[in-house]
Amino acid sequence: MTTSDRPGMVMCRPTHFGVQYVINPWMQGQIGRVRNDVAVEQWNRLYEIVAGLTTVAIIEGVPAHPDMCFVANAGLVAGDRFMPSVFRFPQREPEAPLFSDWFADSGFEVVTLGGDDTFEGEGDALFESDSASWIWAGYGVRSSLESHQSLTETLNIEVVSLRLIDERFYHLDTCFFPLPGGRVVYYPPAFDELTLAEIRCRVPTDKRIEVSESDALRFACNAVRLDVTLITNHVSKELRRRLAAWGFDVRTTPLDEFMLAGGAAKCLCLIGRQDAGTSGEGRLDSPIRHTEIQLSGHLLDSGLMNRLFDSVTDGGGSFRVDQFTVGQRHDLSSTARVRVTAPTQERLELILNTLQPLGAVTVTEDTDARLESVTQVGVAPQTFYSTTIYPTDVRVSGQWIRATSQRMDAVIVIDDSDGENDPSARCSLIRDLQNGDRVACGVDGVRVRRTATIAGKDEFAFMSAGVSSERRVELAVEELAWEMRRIRAREGRIVFVAGPVVIHTGGGPHLASIINLGYLDVLLTGNALPTHDIEMNLFGTSLGVDLARGVGVHGGHQHHIKAINRIRSAGSIRTAVEQGIVTDGVMYACVKNDVKYVLAGSIRDDGPLPDTLMDLYEAQAAYAEAIDGADMIVMLASMLHAIGTGNMTRAGVRLICVDIHPAVVTKLADRGSVESTGIVTDVGLFLNLLATRLVDEDASDG
Ligand code: NAD
């Protein structure tokens, strides 16, 4: 078949069109509502416009296949070849052989992409307009990412994978329209952020039109181009003006009957004359990458499988469960092997990074970690492996080495063998990197070890962390008091992280009595808690409010500043206590009981108190040192300090987070281990209950 024999456009008569099932949000509530006579009339008008501009071949519709008129989903034409669709929904599957037969009879070579990966033809595969040197391809709703790899292999052409995230724009051609001159018209909210970055990287600003929601929902992007004429169901004045400035004449023709089924102009036309550009001599390698992962544990009841699937799709990848063995009893764990696919190696690594904390292990032949040297002080190589809170091993020269100083958001530096010592691995903050440091990059050769549960089993129990406001606070306090007493009995370390709300809510005296009972080893806070605590002691107010009466005191707003000034004149909180200036409260209890405290400064700070560390690096280092060896960290109503501390805490440390805001508690408790408990409540009330419980239990010990 020569180029001129091929039809410019292929259309399928809507004789049997209607909405008979629901496979996209547009069809919802529309079953039986299509007026077929009106649809036929609208189709005829579209046909007349298209046929006035190019040759059109017509496929006759077949009864019982109401969506056949949406012929763009029949497959994809590239030169003499026709690649039939592999439909996602069984309702449309029977169309595939009908279309294949038609294209074969019309002289096309029918080439199947192979495998059972879904691919919905030109609906999700649009050639770059000028040279057809790449295909913009949609995935995420109908077509699979894997089909993009098959497209590259079959056509030897670059495929740019674009992830669709809004089911209303289920095919790429509903929200993306490439035009000559390297231009595109598209609706950004239909895509994920990484896809938008890819589009914006390939297409400069002056060559992109981002359409409004109103245009998008009337399928303005679902347009047919024939030379400089664009045919669509709708175009706003503004979009028409912008397209005219690019030299295009837009012709609209109503297609609202087809929109009841979620289709418009482009869906009704398949490009029949499409020369697929060759991409040079050699075979192109698809950027799509796969890897096999394995995980085990209580995968179903813990919700871990769902978390895994969500993490893969949220990261722009896809998955296929190759094997799943379900634990036969509640105490037995399940095992899954899952194939993860991502559009690029970089995105695959990002996804794997999010799967590792869930306990997923890559099933690959053991390879050494890729190490890259630091070439700029305080800057990591771009593809560095970013750490989690979990124990992590790195493979160096065939040997797995456990990284030390585990924390999240760090990099892993390998200190090589010097002949006498074996190589070692340590977590390092990016800012501490020195030239020549060798940093683990990518995810190969790095594995995260799962946290042992309280039962001591090496299995992973995500979501077993409790976050509940419904749970009675009394019960949570009872359990916490029991644990604290056990830690104190074995001379373990308990760290409290607290914000000024502790004082404002009247929790100060209760925290002081917990300190006096010997439960606290370290207090981590900022400038505000000690300020208001000392204000309370000196003036009987917290931020100018008399807590006993619950009213503001005249001139009280100056109290905290006066308190800070008093301590500044003494030189430090400790000196102020020793000089008898401060006689009660949380800080007094800390000094008297030799409890270490670290005050980290912030931009909000007044004064500050002389003890407050205003150098952020120094403050972070002092916090990190203070939590080293902690058995338990209790975080009380300070988002800033609690999250800051959480980030530098390795897995295995018991965390209790108390805050009135559920989101803060969830963020801290949701660390993928049983060691976290979140308690959503007022911190003053909580401290009252905890102190009372500890005092009573200590008293009953005699
Ligand atoms: P933050 O916003 O980080 O945390 C406050 C937390 O308390 C929030 O998560 C909130 O949900 C929670 N909360 C509020 N009321 C509560 C209640 N009744 N019970 C339980 N939780 C409750 O703020 P922050 O930690 O208070 O302060 C951030 C930084 O600003 C700190 O370094 C602090 O020292 C500093 N600061 C300084 C001054 C000062 O110097 N005058 C004053 C205020 C804060």
What distances in angstroms separate CA 371 from CA 248, 283, 423, one per listed residue?
A: 52, 30, 13
**Does residue 505 line the site of ligand 1, with CB under 6 A?**
yes
Q: How far is residue 575's CA from residue 569's CA, in Å, rounded to a whole number?
A: 10
Architecture of the structural domain at 370-444: Beta Barrel (2.40)
**Which amino acid, 136?**
W
Q: Is the pLDDT of residue 261 over 70?
A: yes
- The greatest distance separating any two alpha carbons of the chain, rounded to the nearest whole angstrom, comes to 101
Hey, whose CA ends up nearest to atom 32 of ligand 1?
526
Burial of 376 per CB tally in 10 Å (0-12, 13-18, 19+) = exposed
**Does residue 322 line the site of ligand 1, with CB under 6 A?**
no
pLDDT band at 299 (very low <50, low <70, confident <90, very high): confident
pLDDT score recorded for residue 365:
64
The per-residue pLDDT for range 528-571, each reduced to its tens digit, is 999 999 999 999 999 888 888 888 888 888 999 999 999 999 99
Judge whether 527 and 609 are in contact, CB under 8 Å: yes
Query: For the range 317-322, what are the long-range contacts, defined as Cβ-Cβ under 8 Å and sequence gap of 24 or more?
Result: 317/145, 317/341, 317/342, 317/343, 317/347, 317/348, 317/351, 318/139, 318/144, 318/145, 318/146, 322/292
Q: Which of 256-270, 328-342, 443-457 has the lowest mean pLDDT?
A: 443-457
pLDDT score recorded for residue 417:
61
CA 36–ligand 1 middle distance (angstroms): 63
Q: How far is residue 409's CA from residue 66's CA, in Å, rounded to a whole number?
A: 53
CATH of domain 473-700: 3.40.50.10690
What would the mean pLDDT of 597-608 be, rounded to a whole number? 95
Hey, whose CA ends up nearest to atom 23 of ligand 1?
638
pLDDT band at 329 (very low <50, low <70, confident <90, very high): confident
CA 683–ligand 1 middle distance (angstroms): 11
| Residue 229 half-sphere exposure toward CB, CA atoms < 13 A | 13
CA 625–ligand 1 middle distance (angstroms): 23
What would the mean pLDDT of 474-495 be, rounded to a whole number? 94
CA 640–ligand 1 middle distance (angstroms): 7
Q: What's the predicted TM-score (pTM) here? A: 0.73
Q: How far is residue 163's CA from residue 166's CA, in Å, rounded to a whole number?
A: 10
Which segments of 163-236 does DSSP mark as H helices, in order? 193-202, 213-217
What class does CATH assign to 3-271? alpha beta
Q: Which residues contact 119 (CB under 8 A, 6 or more apart)?
A: 83, 85, 86, 113, 125, 143, 144, 147, 150, 151
Which segments of 120-209 does DSSP mark as H helices, in order? 145-155, 193-202
Catalogue the active-site residues: 171, 267
Ligand 1, from 598, 638, 656: best to mutate by most atoms within 8 Å of Cβ?
Answer: 638
Structure tokens belonging to residue 179:
């035009």
pLDDT score recorded for residue 3:
67
What would the mean pLDDT of 105-117 be, rounded to a whole number? 91
pLDDT score recorded for residue 652:
83
The structural domains of the chain, with segments of one domain joined by +, span 3-271, 288-366, 370-444, 473-700
**Does residue 685 line the site of ligand 1, with CB under 6 A?**
no
Structure tokens belonging to residue 327:
């634990």
CA 543–ligand 1 middle distance (angstroms): 12
The mean of the pLDDT values for the chain is: 91
pLDDT band at 457 (very low <50, low <70, confident <90, very high): very low
The per-residue pLDDT for range 37-73, each reduced to its tens digit, is 999 999 999 999 999 999 999 999 999 999 999 999 9
The per-residue pLDDT for range 629-662, each reduced to its tens digit, is 999 999 999 999 999 999 899 888 999 999 999 8
Q: Is the pLDDT of residue 453 over 50?
A: no
pLDDT score recorded for residue 465:
47
**Does residue 526 line the site of ligand 1, with CB under 6 A?**
yes
pLDDT band at 415 (very low <50, low <70, confident <90, very high): very high
CATH among 3.30.70.2690, 2.60.40.420, 3.40.50.970, 3.40.50.300 for 288-366: 3.30.70.2690
Judge whether 163 and 195 are in contact, CB under 8 Å: yes
Q: How far is residue 648's CA from residue 475's CA, in Å, rounded to a whole number?
A: 29
Q: How far is residue 470's CA from residue 319's CA, in Å, rounded to a whole number?
A: 35
The per-residue pLDDT for range 488-537, each reduced to its tens digit, is 999 999 999 999 999 999 999 999 999 999 999 999 999 999 999 999 99
Give me the percent of the chain exceeding a pLDDT of 90.
76
Ligand 1, from 605, 647, 658, 688: best to mutate by most atoms within 8 Å of Cβ?
Answer: 605
pLDDT score recorded for residue 283:
81
- Nearest C-alpha neighbor of 497 from the set 410, 648, 623: 623
